[in-house]
Chain A
Amino acid sequence: MDMSQYLEIFIEESKEHLQGLNQSLLELEKNPQDVPMLNEIFRVAHTLKGMAGTMGFNKMAKLTHDMENVLHALRNNEINVDTNLVDIMFKCLDALENYVNEIVSNGSEGSNEYADIITGLNNALRKKGSIKEDAIKNVPESTLKATEVVVNKENKAEFATADFELNEYEQALVVKAHQMEMNVLKITIVLNKGCLLKSARSFIIFQALERSSEVIKSVPRVEDIEDEKFDFEFTVVIVSKEDEVYFTKELNSIAEVDNVIITKISEDTKAVSNDAKEAGHVLEQNGEDHENVDVKAEADHQKSGSASKNIKTTKTVRVDIDRLDVLMNLVSELIIIKTRLEGLNEIKGNQDYNEVIEYFERVTTNLHDAVMKVRMVPVETVFNRFPRMLRDIAKNLGKEIILEMSGEETELDRTVIDEIGDPLIHLLRNSADHGIESLEKRKALGKNEAGHIFLKAYQDGNNVVIEVEDDGQGIDVEKVKKKAIERGLINKDSAKSLSQKDIVDFLFKPSFSTTDQITDLSGRGVGLDVVKTKIETLGGIVEVETESGKGSKFIIRLPLTLAIIQALLVQICDEKYAIPLSSIREIIKVKVEDIKMVQKQEIILLRNMIVPIIRIGNILDVPQSEDSKKVLTVVIVKKGEKLSGFLVDNLIGQHEIVIKSLGKLLSGINIIAGATILGDGNVALILDVNSLAI
């Protein structure tokens, strides 16, 4: 059977499942007793196995099957969750991801058998003692027998849910009940296999029970019964004044209840097992029923597995990214046409035309906003691999690090999301490696043993801000200064007048590093420089705030929308240029005399702030014409927190423009962010404020 048409879906869904498994496993590590989480993991692993098997990826299926065995043992409390086990499981997930990546690039799983991981898994299983081991090993591979829980259970109890022990607290309750001369009964209820709303039915049963008794234990737990996470039977232990005859009658009168088995719990029974006599004749029948139950429960597992997989994606549609791009391009073209329409002379004067154009403008703006929203993706998709990554890094470094993330729902354009992952990983690694001190150091300093890294994302005006903050040792400014002097980037005297900010900026220079040791993770002095470049390519900026001993904060600011922006068109001599409106603070007129010189830099005083003046005409090599103006127009732009003033000749006006790339040949020019097509069909270049400003 040709499965290639399903290959894409398989890859997409596998990736999602694996991501979910990573998260769930992390949760499980924190809360080893979390049974629903364990069940969820089992379900997802099982779904993966089924998918891999269907597609003929047998190695994947085998690995997942072995994983399942371990999960199964965990579920039965035959082995415990410890870091070694979790590590093996994570290795499994990595191996599965590798298989998927192989499939993506080559169409087949590759030849890696990961024998070492499989050995690891088997070792974990071996820990639980020899008796049960055989039972597990005999599990056949066919997917039908998924609910091995029921089938393989020892033959002592034909009702799987009925075989359990009471813990100390429950035993105490039993004793108390007997003291008060109440009956303690163990009731196993088997529902009719045709029962559709099991949770509703069990609710009714519980109501009936609670009318005349108190339920002190339930297998499975009440929450699981409410979520229909059981096959067709459950067992409860109740305390009541009434006796077994009463309850037999009561419960059997409820519809869809097939069987009610009640045993009395006497004072000194610890292990409560079924009375073999009672169940005798029912044994065979139930044996069969269990087989059928398996199949049905298997189907249920598959269904509920996929349903509970993604809590957030209730009504979503998978859309090919290329189609989104086509949509975006068409909207961009529409806006260009709109601008040209506005410029046509026949239209300018005419009242009616103007009204129509205005309406047209509103609709296109709304359309643009809607399409931009479609391209927006929550940063969560990038953030969600970090907890796992940081866990591994912390382990490698022998440090304890807690990652706190907030604002994961903040959205960024799809193209930015793709690129922002690597810089963030580097910053996180930096914080973990250089920022957070070792356990001993932290203790000595009186800090919490566990270092904290905060990852925050939020929207600020037209930007999205991502902060990576740690409570480590901060950046040693003196060390940086010394290194900079050593490298000859600055001489001793000028170094004195540098602000902390300027000094820290040296870290972003290529090949700059102050660590004495180069570790696997960092220290080669390559990272921060690459981070800065990457972020600037996205049109954003990165800044650092640091305090010695307290920690550091890296702040990344990214523009929200990429393709269509509001801009100010300006004229410099005979050439027209566009400045993105989001970068503009204000526009002022300045008298020639007001320009002062400070250290060979022209500046003006803007409400008592010193703002450097930049003659962009010179930087852009604009052929100069005679200029003897007395009053100059200055556009004050902001780069992060800093202001600069761009000197222009004329203001043309505010326009909505479509950013077009300059093409591969010319995209390396950093002072030009792109180009736009004006209403008259001519091209105007868009200035990159960050590169031109100081």
Chain B
Amino acid sequence: MSEAVALHTTQFVVFILSNEQYGLNIQMVNNIEKMIPITRVPKTPDFIKGVINLRGEIVPIMDLSQRFGLSIQEETEETRIIIVKYEDILVGIIVDEVKEVMNIAEDSIESITSIGNENFKDSILGAGKVDGSVITLLNIEKLVKIA
């Protein structure tokens, strides 16, 4: 009887985007902000909404729904900006609602390269299965590359 169970669990911040659940590795999440006015920046991809003033620092803001071609939701009281940091790049991601922090074990993560459109595929780490629900886990490293 093997007792060695893969106890590698990672913590993910789970949020809602176009009525679907997504997760980001908590190690790379800096903080979560309420929605604030965004200043548009010309000559950037459509999904880059602009920049905000985060306590004196300029942070670019990305709309993932737009990037992934999902239906765009209206801004509500629950809308948040999740600030992520990869190496020394800071980026804010607009999400419809932030739900909770979950522990997801490594062996509960299934790779789903066959599902999803082109825009999506690279950015996905896999799908995490927890308590019957499925959370699409995002690859932050790929997200911050906008070229």
Contacts and interface: CB of A to CB of B under 8 A. Distances in A.
Q: Which bracket fits the contact residues of A? A: 20 to 34
B78 to A, nearest CB: 23
A681 B51 contact: no
A621 B39 CA distance: 13
B28 to A, nearest CB: 15
Contacts of B42: 619-622, 669, 671-672, 685
Contact of A666 (B37, B41, B56, B57): B41
Contacts of A575: 39-40
Interface string A659-694: 011111110010110010100011111000000000
Which of A660, A664, A672 neighbours the largest number of chain B CB atoms within 10 Å of its CB? A664
Contact of A336 (B40, B43, B56, B90): B56
A660 B58 contact: yes
Nearest to B147: A668
Decide if the interface of chain B is mainly helix, strand, loop or mixed. strand
B135 interface: no
B105 interface: no
B56 A683 contact: no
Contact of A677 (B41, B44, B56, B144): B56
Nearest to B90: A663
A248 to B, nearest CB: 79
A333 interface: yes
Contacts of B57: 660
Contact of A683 (B48, B53, B88, B89): B53
A684 B90 CA distance: 19
Interface in B28-60: 37, 39-44, 48, 50-53, 56-60
A621 B144 CA distance: 24
Interface residues of B, number: 23
B1 interface: no
A663 B60 contact: yes
Contacts of A660: 56-58
Given A681-B53, A683-B51, A665 B41 contact: no
B43 A671 contact: yes
B146 interface: yes
Contacts of A682: 37, 39, 53
Contact of A669 (B40, B44, B88): B44
B91 interface: yes
A663 B146 contact: no
B51 A662 contact: yes
Contacts of A664: 88-89
B144 A675 contact: no
A662 B39 contact: no
Contacts of B48: 665-666
A677 B53 contact: yes
Nearest to B39: A683
Contacts of A675: 39, 51, 58
Given A663-B59, A666-B51, A677-B53, 15 more contacts: A575-B39, A622-B42, A660-B58, A663-B51, A663-B58, A663-B60, A665-B89, A665-B146, A669-B41, A671-B43, A675-B51, A677-B58, A683-B52, A683-B58, A685-B41
Q: Which 9 A-B pairs have the closest CB atoms?
A: A683-B39, A620-B42, A664-B89, A675-B58, A621-B42, A660-B58, A665-B60, A677-B53, A669-B43
Interface of A: 333, 336, 575, 619-622, 660-666, 669, 671-672, 675, 677, 681-685
23 contacts: A333-B56, A575-B40, A619-B42, A620-B42, A662-B51, A662-B58, A662-B60, A663-B58, A663-B59, A665-B48, A665-B60, A665-B144, A665-B146, A666-B48, A669-B42, A672-B42, A675-B51, A677-B56, A681-B53, A682-B37, A683-B50, A683-B52, A683-B53
